[in-house]
Amino acid sequence: MQSKISTFFKPSSSSSSVSPKPADPSPILHEDDELSIWEKKQHQQLSTYKRRAPNPQWRGSDCGRDSQLAKTPVSDVDSPRPESMALGKTVTKNKKRSYAQYHLDLGQSDFLLHTCAVCGVMYVTGDQEDEKAHKGFHNDYTRGIQFKGWCNERVVYEPKVGGGRILLVLDSDPPAQRNKVEKVVTMMETELGSGWILPKLFKVYLFVLSARIVGCLVAEPITKAHKVLSSAVDGSSNSASATTNKTKLFSLQFGEIKFQREVIRKAPSAPEPLNEYFTGAIICEKEAVPAVCGIRAIWVTPANRRKHIATHLLDALRKNFCMGLVLEHSQLAFSQLTSAGNALVSNYIGGGNFLLYNTNNVAS
């Protein structure tokens, strides 16, 4: 026969620490009563459950899973958990949103790129980097490139009126000075065209005013040039100096009343081309003459024009191009001229008798 259940249990340590009491005869308990006492005092385990707040991200087919996860032990609730959980995936809250700029293509001519009417640069409107780059180039083009100066400057001319100074840069100068010249030439190419302004052998005159380069003249040594016909510049010929070439009178009489009509033949409005050097505005002589100084390009920033800066650059060129020799106005040769350049040269020379040269006829 099996022994009673009480024989399998030993007295606890708590009971041994208590002061001894006189042994009283305890009544004999039933084995079911001893088991209930042991469950209540020695090995009692409590499990508490707390309902979590419903998650709005769980929808539809997740209802069954919600019912399973609705109740969790308190110990699990207090432990660190992800911010939210759905179907085993961690969802990050408070995520920064990325905003993108969208445009509507309605057939605009400048939908992607906008061209500045002043500096001619194409940029994307709404793009901060593009707009910042355009703003910097626009300021340099209209007001001049910022210039702090060099330690070894070659000052060749200082105007008496208006201030400023003119620096000379040669093709043999240090890279820092040549890089500055190339940056100025980039501004000039926006208006005059690219790929031809800066030759291999050059003398560049920079006009510096208020810590900015506001004007530039590019010159080179040449061997020959061609004279310009005055009739091509003035737009009139010697035979057309008179307003009329021939006058004829026609009369018509009705009885005693007589009518006369006068017919005037006007000279041709423009001279005809005389040779291959005619470009539509200027006619040159076919035979070349010796020349030493050729001016490839001359340019002034738009905000500093009408201040005689180009005139000062031409004066500095005549006095410093040849060592110990001052060139005459008529000894300056120019390359292809725009309408504004034609007006500048005519006013500086004092007439239409100046020289033009081909950029290929340069000194070796």
- pLDDT of res. 65: 52
What tens digit of pLDDT does each residue of 151-207 get? 989 999 999 888 899 999 999 999 999 999 999 999 999 888 888 899 989 999 999
Please determine, for residue 108, whether its predicted confidence score (pLDDT) is greater than 70: no
Please determine, for residue 364, whether its predicted confidence score (pLDDT) is greater than 50: no
Of the spans 82-86, 142-146, 337-341, which averages the highest pLDDT? 142-146
pLDDT grade, residue 284 (50/70/90)?
confident
* Same domain? 114 vs 231: no
Which residues are CB-neighbours of 233 under 8 A, at least 6 positions away?
Answer: 282, 342, 346, 351, 352
Asked if residue 138 belongs to a domain, the reply is yes
Asked if residue 20 belongs to a domain, the reply is no
Please determine, for residue 101, whether its predicted confidence score (pLDDT) is greater than 50: yes
- pLDDT of res. 74: 46
Average pLDDT over residues 308-326: 93
Domain that holds residue 179: 144-238+269-364
Lookup: tokens for 349: 């020379």
* Same domain? 282 vs 200: yes
Asked if residue 95 belongs to a domain, the reply is no
Average pLDDT over residues 117-121: 84
* Same domain? 305 vs 348: yes
Asked if residue 64 belongs to a domain, the reply is no
Asked if residue 24 belongs to a domain, the reply is no
Of 8-22, 127-141, 198-212, 302-316, the least confident: 8-22
pLDDT grade, residue 323 (50/70/90)?
confident
Between 61 and 117, where is the model more confident? 117
* Same domain? 233 vs 113: no
What tens digit of pLDDT does each residue of 203-255 get? 999 999 999 999 999 999 998 999 988 655 554 444 333 444 445 555 667 67
Please determine, for residue 357, whether its predicted confidence score (pLDDT) is greater than 80: yes
List the beta bridge partners of residue 298: 217
* Same domain? 286 vs 363: yes
Cα 261 to chain centroid, rounded = 66
- pLDDT of res. 12: 55
Considering 121, 143, 165, which residue would you say is the last residue of a domain? 143
- pLDDT of res. 10: 59
CATH of the domain at 200: 3.40.630.30
Between 12 and 179, where is the model more confident? 179
How far apart (Å, rounded) are the C-alpha atoms in residues 8 and 282?
Answer: 129
* Same domain? 300 vs 341: yes
* Same domain? 139 vs 149: no
DSSP state of 61: G
What tens digit of pLDDT does each residue of 20-61 get? 555 555 555 555 677 677 666 655 566 677 777 777 766 554
* Same domain? 150 vs 129: no
Asked if residue 1 belongs to a domain, the reply is no
Q: Average pLDDT of the chain?
A: 74
Q: How do strand 293-300 and strand 332-334 relate by DSSP bridges?
A: parallel
Residue with tokens 């057309």: 240
| H or E element that contains 342 | helix 339-349
Average pLDDT over residues 286-298: 91
* Same domain? 352 vs 325: yes
* Same domain? 188 vs 291: yes
* Same domain? 151 vs 139: no
Q: Which of 208, 202, 216 is nearest to 153 (CA)?
A: 208
Considering 92, 121, 143, which residue would you say is the last residue of a domain? 143
Lookup: tokens for 251: 């009369």
Indicate the length of the chain as a whole number: 364
- pLDDT of res. 249: 56
CA distances from 117 to 105, 142, 165, 339 (A): 22, 12, 30, 19
Please determine, for residue 260, whether its predicted confidence score (pLDDT) is greater than 60: yes
Between 156 and 120, where is the model more confident? 156
Asked if residue 330 belongs to a domain, the reply is yes
- Across 8-60, the runs of DSSP E, i.e. the strands, are 49-51
For the residues of 273-339, what is the DSSP string, one character each? P-STT--SS--EEEEEEE-SEEEEEEEE-GGGTTSSHHHHHHHHHHHHSBTTBPPPGGGEEE-S--H
How far apart (Å, rounded) are the C-alpha atoms in residues 309 and 304?
Answer: 8
**What domain count does the chain have?**
2
pLDDT above 70 covers a percentage of the chain that reads 57
Considering 143, 165, 187, which residue would you say is the last residue of a domain? 143
Please determine, for residue 341, whether its predicted confidence score (pLDDT) is greater than 70: yes
- pLDDT of res. 241: 39
List the beta bridge partners of residue 254: 257
- pLDDT of res. 343: 87
* Same domain? 344 vs 277: yes
Asked if residue 96 belongs to a domain, the reply is no
Average pLDDT over residues 56-72: 53
